[in-house]
Amino acid sequence: MQGRLVRESADQVIGKIPASCQPEQTDAETTASRMIYVFLRRAVCVLKATAREIFDESAYDRFLARTHSKRSVTSYRAFTCEREDAIAHKQRCC
Protein backbone atom coordinates (compact mmCIF):
# COMPACT_ATOMS: atom_id res chain seq x y z
CA MET A 1 0.00 0.00 0.00
CA GLN A 2 1.24 3.45 -0.88
CA GLY A 3 1.84 5.80 2.01
CA ARG A 4 2.53 3.07 4.59
CA LEU A 5 5.71 2.77 6.53
CA VAL A 6 7.78 -0.34 6.12
CA ARG A 7 9.70 -1.11 9.28
CA GLU A 8 12.78 -3.30 9.24
CA SER A 9 13.78 -2.62 12.81
CA ALA A 10 12.70 -0.41 15.67
CA ASP A 11 15.17 2.37 14.77
CA GLN A 12 15.24 2.18 10.96
CA VAL A 13 12.32 3.37 8.84
CA ILE A 14 12.22 2.80 5.10
CA GLY A 15 9.47 3.94 2.77
CA LYS A 16 7.22 6.90 2.32
CA ILE A 17 5.78 9.18 4.92
CA PRO A 18 2.09 8.48 5.31
CA ALA A 19 -0.28 11.19 4.18
CA SER A 20 -1.68 11.44 7.71
CA CYS A 21 1.71 12.70 8.97
CA GLN A 22 1.99 15.49 6.41
CA PRO A 23 0.44 18.78 7.48
CA GLU A 24 -2.38 19.92 5.25
CA GLN A 25 -2.60 23.57 4.32
CA THR A 26 -5.96 25.20 4.53
CA ASP A 27 -7.20 27.69 1.96
CA ALA A 28 -6.54 30.52 4.43
CA GLU A 29 -2.91 29.43 4.91
CA THR A 30 -2.40 29.11 1.15
CA THR A 31 -3.91 32.55 0.58
CA ALA A 32 -1.78 34.07 3.36
CA SER A 33 1.35 32.46 1.95
CA ARG A 34 0.51 33.77 -1.51
CA MET A 35 -0.12 37.28 -0.16
CA ILE A 36 3.23 37.28 1.65
CA TYR A 37 4.98 36.08 -1.50
CA VAL A 38 3.33 38.79 -3.63
CA PHE A 39 4.16 41.48 -1.03
CA LEU A 40 7.83 40.44 -0.87
CA ARG A 41 8.09 40.27 -4.64
CA ARG A 42 6.65 43.78 -5.02
CA ALA A 43 8.95 45.08 -2.28
CA VAL A 44 11.98 43.68 -4.12
CA CYS A 45 10.78 45.31 -7.35
CA VAL A 46 10.44 48.68 -5.61
CA LEU A 47 13.91 48.35 -4.07
CA LYS A 48 15.43 47.46 -7.46
CA ALA A 49 13.70 50.41 -9.14
CA THR A 50 14.89 52.74 -6.37
CA ALA A 51 18.47 51.54 -6.74
CA ARG A 52 18.28 52.01 -10.53
CA GLU A 53 17.12 55.62 -10.02
CA ILE A 54 19.80 56.33 -7.41
CA PHE A 55 22.60 55.04 -9.61
CA ASP A 56 21.24 56.70 -12.81
CA GLU A 57 20.60 53.44 -14.65
CA SER A 58 16.98 54.39 -15.33
CA ALA A 59 18.01 57.86 -16.49
CA TYR A 60 20.51 56.28 -18.87
CA ASP A 61 17.81 53.93 -20.22
CA ARG A 62 15.51 56.93 -20.79
CA PHE A 63 18.38 58.75 -22.56
CA LEU A 64 18.92 55.74 -24.84
CA ALA A 65 15.22 55.58 -25.67
CA ARG A 66 15.04 59.33 -26.34
CA THR A 67 18.13 59.37 -28.59
CA HIS A 68 17.43 55.96 -30.21
CA SER A 69 20.93 54.82 -29.25
CA LYS A 70 22.41 51.54 -28.12
CA ARG A 71 24.49 50.99 -25.02
CA SER A 72 28.07 51.93 -25.77
CA VAL A 73 30.94 53.95 -24.39
CA THR A 74 30.09 56.80 -26.78
CA SER A 75 26.42 56.94 -25.77
CA TYR A 76 27.32 56.82 -22.08
CA ARG A 77 29.79 59.66 -22.59
CA ALA A 78 27.05 61.72 -24.28
CA PHE A 79 24.69 60.90 -21.40
CA THR A 80 27.16 62.02 -18.74
CA CYS A 81 28.00 65.22 -20.64
CA GLU A 82 24.30 66.07 -21.01
CA ARG A 83 23.70 65.32 -17.34
CA GLU A 84 26.66 67.46 -16.20
CA ASP A 85 25.49 70.34 -18.41
CA ALA A 86 22.01 70.13 -16.93
CA ILE A 87 23.42 70.16 -13.40
CA ALA A 88 25.76 73.09 -14.19
CA HIS A 89 22.95 75.23 -15.63
CA LYS A 90 20.51 74.44 -12.85
CA GLN A 91 19.64 77.60 -10.93
CA ARG A 92 20.62 77.73 -7.28
CA CYS A 93 18.48 79.51 -4.78
CA CYS A 94 21.34 80.81 -2.61
User: pLDDT, tens digit, for every residue of 71-85?
Assistant: 999 999 999 999 999
Residues composing the chain: 94
DSSP string, 27-57: HHHHHHHHHHHHHHHHHHHHHHHHHHHHTTH
Largest CA distance in the chain: 85
pLDDT at 20: 57
**Residue numbers of the chain with a pLDDT score lower than 70:** 1-25, 94
Rounded Cα gap, residues 11 and 42, in angstroms: 47
Question: Is the Cβ–Cβ distance between 80 and 53 less than 8 Å?
Answer: no
Question: Is the Cβ–Cβ distance between 2 and 16 less than 8 Å?
Answer: yes
